[in-house]
């Protein structure tokens, strides 16, 4: 691949998309991820429905959320070490096959006494996922030329949002007709993704110190990855911006439904339409990011999108009617995908191939931790103060992160160009 990961003049938007989908390996990865993420949404709807049918306790829904978060927080950095030590292609294939088998355990859940199987399954899927995602993100720069990396990250971000739109619809049909169908479908998508990855051409990881890599313990490799991030000021700044932006945006997730119901009397159907608009905006962001990068620097894209997202969150808080809600939600989706795509691009550029898996695992860990903290704080603050005030605070935090990003990431992008030029 091209060594220039942050070009000064990326290709035209449509040409970039055309080139990416002509890239056999990236196309296989993207389609496999889209299918797998649609399957995950089916599983989520099926699991929530199953739990609700078997138990009315709020804890029954809380425990799976904890089961998913804990493995990511505890083992997230280990997954990055393995992504740098092992063949990343085999890591992804093995992870998908394992998840395809693990998810079948939910078929054994028939009554409330069996819910522990679902909880362990959720934890197992999350645990295997901490190995898959750092490996996936680390190989993207090896699959596409540098001038297409920003567009590639935008499409990867967008595939998740497409799954948010398509998945619930597929799940609704599957759950209505036959509950196990959604679980079997999710299992099948993991196996299809594994097959797609198996036929891809992915370069092997080449450690910078091959003679000592196997002698180091996992803990030593983990510390080496953290030390690399700590000593790389530009990379550390990118991660801080990512965490703060996640805090601001993640704060609105839990409180959106009660806010819309209290302010506008919105029903579940109207909330679902709003989430579809979020998905539509996100898809548009994935398609537009490369075109915008022709006119603006990467740091300016991140900063502008976070400032605009902050303003959209405030607009959502004070929306006088449902139309303003739909527009503000679409803008939030567009901005989040563009900002995350640009942040991922800078992070990948600043990370040498030998440590890229560990850096990506640190990014994932930060996002998970920041999202959990944002949801917890928003739930606490929402019970103490007006929900509208919480949204305004989240919007201000997101906007300030954007202002900081314009200045902080300018140096990071410049350093990335210097590194890739040598």
At residue 8, the pLDDT reads 39
In a domain, 1, yes or no: no
Query: Looking at the structure, do residues 422 and 316 belong to the same domain, yes or no?
Result: yes
Please report where in the chains the tokens 């119901």 appear, as a residue.
Answer: 261
Query: Looking at the structure, do residues 248 and 395 belong to the same domain, yes or no?
Result: yes
Residue ending a domain, choose from 171, 203, 235: 203
Task: Report the CATH number at residue 175.
Answer: 1.20.1250.20
Long-range CB contacts (< 8 A, 24+ apart) of 96-99? 96/36, 96/132, 96/190, 96/191, 96/193, 96/194, 96/197, 97/190, 97/191, 97/194, 98/128, 99/125, 99/128, 99/129, 99/132, 99/190
At residue 212, the pLDDT reads 45
At residue 325, the pLDDT reads 86
Cβ contact 350:419 at 8 Å: yes
At residue 2, the pLDDT reads 39
Query: Looking at the structure, do residues 187 and 155 belong to the same domain, yes or no?
Result: yes
Query: Looking at the structure, do residues 37 and 183 belong to the same domain, yes or no?
Result: yes
At residue 93, the pLDDT reads 96
109: tokens are 């859940």
Cβ contact 304:296 at 8 Å: yes
In a domain, 209, yes or no: no
Handedness of CA 270, 276, 277, 279 (dihedral sign): positive
Give per-10-residue mean pLDDT for the chain (422 aa): 42 67 91 90 79 70 74 85 89 95 92 86 92 91 83 80 73 73 91 95 60 64 86 86 78 65 68 71 74 78 92 90 88 86 84 86 82 72 77 88 87 68 54
In a domain, 232, yes or no: yes
At residue 257, the pLDDT reads 63
10: tokens are 């990326």
pTM: 0.73
Picking from 129, 287, 110, the residue whose alpha carbon sits closest to that of residue 279 is 287
d(CA 98, CA 104): 10
At residue 32, the pLDDT reads 93
In a domain, 208, yes or no: no
Query: Looking at the structure, do residues 221 and 195 belong to the same domain, yes or no?
Result: no
At residue 9, the pLDDT reads 44
At residue 11, the pLDDT reads 41
At residue 309, the pLDDT reads 92
Residue ending a domain, choose from 203, 238, 253: 203
Query: Looking at the structure, do residues 242 and 142 belong to the same domain, yes or no?
Result: no
At residue 338, the pLDDT reads 85
In a domain, 276, yes or no: yes
Residue ending a domain, choose from 156, 172, 203: 203
Query: Looking at the structure, do residues 169 and 309 belong to the same domain, yes or no?
Result: no
Query: Looking at the structure, do residues 110 and 156 belong to the same domain, yes or no?
Result: yes
At residue 192, the pLDDT reads 95
In a domain, 2, yes or no: no
Handedness of CA 349, 368, 124, 25 (dihedral sign): negative
Please report where in the chains the tokens 């930060």 appear, as a residue.
Answer: 366
Number of domains in the chain: 2
In a domain, 3, yes or no: no
Query: Looking at the structure, do residues 193 and 226 belong to the same domain, yes or no?
Result: no
Query: Looking at the structure, do residues 374 and 311 belong to the same domain, yes or no?
Result: yes
> Among the residues of 8-144, which ranges form H helices?
13-22, 24-54, 59-85, 88-102, 115-143
Domain that holds residue 131: 10-203
At residue 156, the pLDDT reads 84
d(CA 41, CA 36): 9
d(CA 246, CA 212): 36
Query: Looking at the structure, do residues 80 and 175 belong to the same domain, yes or no?
Result: yes
At residue 194, the pLDDT reads 96
Cβ contact 76:130 at 8 Å: yes
Compute the C-alpha angle 225/226/229, nearest 5°. 90
Picking from 391, 409, 413, 411, the residue whose alpha carbon sits closest to that of residue 401 is 409
In a domain, 123, yes or no: yes
At residue 346, the pLDDT reads 84
Query: Looking at the structure, do residues 224 and 186 belong to the same domain, yes or no?
Result: no
């Amino acid at each position: 691949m091209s060594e220039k990961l942050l070009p000064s003049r990326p290709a035209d938007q449509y040409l970039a998309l055309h080139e990416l989908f002509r890239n056999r390996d990236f196309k296989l990865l993207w389609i496999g991820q889209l299918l797998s993420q649609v399957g995950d949404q089916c599983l989520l709807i099926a699991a929530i429905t199953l739990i609700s049918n078997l138990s009315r306790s709020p804890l029954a829904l809380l425990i799976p959320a904890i089961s998913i978060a804990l493995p990511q927080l505890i083992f997230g950095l280990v997954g990055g070490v393995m992504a740098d030590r092992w063949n990343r292609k085999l890591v992804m294939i093995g992870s998908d096959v394992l998840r395809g088998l693990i998810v079948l355990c939910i078929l054994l859940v028939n009554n409330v006494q069996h819910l522990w199987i679902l909880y362990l399954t959720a934890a197992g899927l999350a645990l295997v996922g901490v190995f898959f995602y750092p490996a996936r993100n680390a190989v993207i720069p090896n699959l596409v030329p540098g001038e297409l990396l920003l567009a590639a990250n935008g499409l990867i971000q967008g595939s998740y949002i497409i799954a948010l739109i398509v998945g619930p619809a597929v799940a609704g049909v599957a759950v209505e007709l036959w509950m196990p169908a959604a679980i079997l479908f999710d299992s099948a998508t993991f196996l299809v993704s594994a097959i797609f990855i198996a036929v891809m051409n992915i370069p092997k990881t080449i450690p910078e110190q091959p003679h000592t890599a196997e002698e180091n313990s996992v803990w030593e490799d983990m510390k080496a990855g953290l030390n690399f991030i700590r000593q790389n000021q530009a990379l550390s700044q990118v991660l801080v911006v990512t965490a703060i932006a996640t805090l601001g945006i993640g704060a609105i997730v839990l409180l959106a439904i009660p806010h819309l119901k209290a302010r506008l009397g919105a029903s579940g159907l109207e909330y679902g339409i709003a989430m579809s608009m979020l998905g539509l905006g996100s898809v548009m962001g994935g398609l537009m990011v490369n075109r915008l990068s022709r006119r603006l620097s990467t740091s300016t894209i991140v900063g502008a999108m976070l400032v605009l997202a902050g303003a959209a969150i405030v607009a959502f808080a004070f929306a006088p009617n449902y139309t303003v809600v739909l527009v503000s939600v679409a803008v939030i989706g567009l901005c989040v995908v563009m900002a995350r795509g640009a942040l991922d691009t800078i992070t990948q550029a600043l990370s040498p191939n030998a440590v890229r898996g560990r850096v990506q695992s640190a990014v994932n860990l930060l996002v998970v931790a920041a999202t959990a903290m944002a949801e917890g704080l928003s739930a606490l603050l929402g019970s103490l103060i007006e929900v509208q005030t919480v949204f305004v605070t989240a919007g201000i935090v997101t906007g300030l992160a954007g202002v900081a990003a314009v200045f902080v990431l300018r140096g990071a992008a410049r350093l990335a160009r210097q590194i890739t030029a040598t």
